[in-house]
Structure 1
């Protein structure tokens, strides 16, 4: 980034606010859309397709949008992504209100609108992440602290969005509630356009086609063993989380005579604990070993709560395992963000970041399908046990590799411009 193109200090607050609004709005739709499909069709299969329809194009477009973020700047891509994704989501309540989105007949149309919204949201989200180094330069706040603030607000916004989504669906209906997500996208675009200046991440003299630029990002990831190992771990855990949230947990709760309130309670406790520990991680940035915090956080975040359900533990222990999991989870994202921005050269942060996010999220579109197959074949408890064991292995074995020592070395490494 050019030294003459630094954003003003207010960009820190603008970026954090825009990201929070976007996350909260997205969480509202994750409550509203599946509820709309299931209540109208009574089909679990069609309901599961909503996640796949959104996340598959989201992951692909995020991976392919990186060179555009570097070339056009994160501000332009973020605003365009929010406006276009919001426009497609806004069509859902409008078409439903005029009788043109009746289900199940119009499920293909609904899935198409969701897919288009996801396709444009992917590059927009990647662009907002790419703003972080420039914001750190302007504010004088360390990268680890900004990524911690961003992670904390994302957690809090997700909790708020889920709560608002549930209330709005009950009060106004699922289709109408999607309008809130569209409005949040438009508000995010407005805030970014007002508070984030035009910043070009790429080198103006860099030559090469779009595909050459994309290859540059892929090549960098391929050569960085630490980032590659981290992404592989996250891809596995995200797949397991998708299977857990969409299939394993609901089936276990139903089969053990509990209601959906338990799912909501576990989610709130997990998310609230994650917010608290993320605040702690942000406050203590630079005072602890990243490697230890990251590996301990992942060890606590997954396997214990999976295995508690699998073994039929008492309800108080299941609840406690979710609180502990949330506390561990809050240390993960701030660490990942700080390591990433310290290791990636500034002029390719957009394309590398977009590819990295896409790889990390690659398991989400198929996680629900995998969970459904395994639960259908073996039952919820065995599936949870296998998932817990897989989670434990995937989050402990990689940490034994020598490149993971670089997590703490990167603090004192040379700044990459």
Structure 2
């Protein structure tokens, strides 16, 4: 595998693993220092708004200063914010106010780092001479591994080492990610300024200051495919967020079997790993529409099982199917975004998408909580499953989702206030892998070129 690809995947995995470790270690540290179980929820709630703003404004900075550069800056900032926890604790002693302050600082870096790596994906595929679908599938597989192994490693470390040592290890991970990204060639992810001919006389959108923030919204709204993908992503978060954060913990707590919660979440993570590996291996050889429909079917059947809150083995099977569907959808969405979004606006578009999913996550959890309190756990679970079915039907019928294998002639206005350039390509063939050698296939004829 090309070293560019190895460095990128290494950076992404290190960052994801660090996030998984700190997600377990931080609540532990907050409770140890404050003695207040609700303090962890307070820290998470207060840092949600800065994370949302960082996702939104971070996209503009990514398009202005470059994807590789902003990825390095964000990872270094994340490392410093995590390292500040034990450092400040040793000097001043941590209290709730300091936890909130450092949590806000960390939130300002984490999401822009993720967005920068999302925007880097097509650059790495091009520079590393690897099929974009395969790269996205491998990346999603590493996410599933971190989702599965990270909390387990953090839990084991907390039993063997002081909490401060675990926090320091979590700070090393984003620093390592920044190191790996810095080893990428400087030209990878560099902002390419549009010439006068390319922009048709319009200024480069990346140079338009804060007004350029609206470009991301306009590109998504004016593309039927990108709009459908964004709604699908939002729907997925509205379903999976409450399921993992509230429904399953409450169900197993009421059943008096909290240990089974970890097994069911692991079943979903294993499904994600299997789905993403399958995507990496098969996506370049089969229709993306087939992948998309298979993913929707797995998620829908899995959630239909979960909706009945059956005994453990059936519930684990349902979550395994949900994981497989998520593993197939996970890499497909960024690939489609990468192919349809103009390079000069990639950071802002992906920043808008990340901001949207961040914004709806707490709303979904809150709505599920109200349903549980006002009706019952089973009603809340049935509503969650039914909501996903509605999202799935919309995604199947959406005009932009009917042909996913060619870049259709769907021009997107990227300028400000009605002025700018139109970006669109008609029937652009995608790279298809054949016996480990990339080749271009014209989807209209099936012939190689």
Q: TM-score, normalization: structure 2? A: 0.83
Structure-2 separation of matches of 1:217 and 1:309: 36
Candidates 200, 204, 207, aligned match of 2:190: 200
Q: Per the alignment, do residues 390 and 46 of structure 1 end up closer, same or farther by CA in structure 2, a change over 3 Å counting?
A: farther
Deviation digits for residues 80-121 of structure 1 (CA, Å, limit 9, x no counterpart): 1111121111111223345611xxxx2232122112101112
Of structures 1 and 2, the one with the larger relative CO (CA 8 A, separation 6+) is 1
Q: Which residue of 1 aligns with 2:308?
A: 311
Structure-1 separation of matches of 2:328 and 2:265: 18
Deviation digits for residues 378-413 of structure 1 (CA, Å, limit 9, x no counterpart): 232221121111122212233112221132333983
Structure-1 separation of matches of 2:157 and 2:136: 31
Q: Which residue of 1 aligns with 2:242?
A: 243
1:371-386 aligned at under 5 Å gives the runs 371-386=368-383
- 1:341 matches 2:338: yes
1:39-78 aligned at under 5 Å gives the runs 45-78=38-71
- 1:167 matches 2:139: no
Structure-2 separation of matches of 1:306 and 1:171: 37
Task: Please tell me whether Structure 1 or Structure 2 has the larger radius of gyration of its CA atoms.
Answer: 2
Structure-1 separation of matches of 2:392 and 2:317: 21
Number of equivalences = 403
Secondary structure class of the residue paired with 1:131: helix
Q: Per the alignment, do residues 415 and 286 of structure 1 end up closer, same or farther by CA in structure 2, a change over 3 Å counting?
A: closer
Q: Which residue of 1 aligns with 2:394?
A: 397
- Deviation, 1:284, is 0.8
Secondary structure class of the residue paired with 2:191: coil
Q: Per the alignment, do residues 245 and 127 of structure 1 end up closer, same or farther by CA in structure 2, a change over 3 Å counting?
A: same
Indicate conservation of the 8 Å contact 1:82/1:121, yes or no.
yes
Q: Per the alignment, do residues 41 and 369 of structure 1 end up closer, same or farther by CA in structure 2, a change over 3 Å counting?
A: farther
Deviation digits for residues 110-143 of structure 1 (CA, Å, limit 9, x no counterpart): 1221121011122122112221122111222121
Q: Which residue of 1 aligns with 2:359?
A: 362
- Deviation, 1:36, is 3.4
Indicate conservation of the 8 Å contact 2:302/2:320, yes or no.
no
The answer to which structure has the higher helix fraction is: 1
Q: Which residue of 2 aligns with 1:4?
A: none
Q: Unaligned stretches of 5+ in structure 2?
A: 196-202, 409-425, 431-449
Structure-2 separation of matches of 1:196 and 1:165: 33
Q: Per the alignment, do residues 37 and 375 of structure 1 end up closer, same or farther by CA in structure 2, a change over 3 Å counting?
A: farther
Indicate conservation of the 8 Å contact 1:148/1:282, yes or no.
yes
Structure-2 separation of matches of 1:42 and 1:378: 32
Structure-2 separation of matches of 1:173 and 1:379: 40
- Deviation, 1:35, is 3.3
Q: Per the alignment, do residues 174 and 308 of structure 1 end up closer, same or farther by CA in structure 2, a change over 3 Å counting?
A: farther
Q: Which residue of 2 aligns with 1:221?
A: 220
- Deviation, 1:52, is 3.2
Indicate conservation of the 8 Å contact 2:67/2:119, yes or no.
yes
Structure-2 separation of matches of 1:307 and 1:43: 37
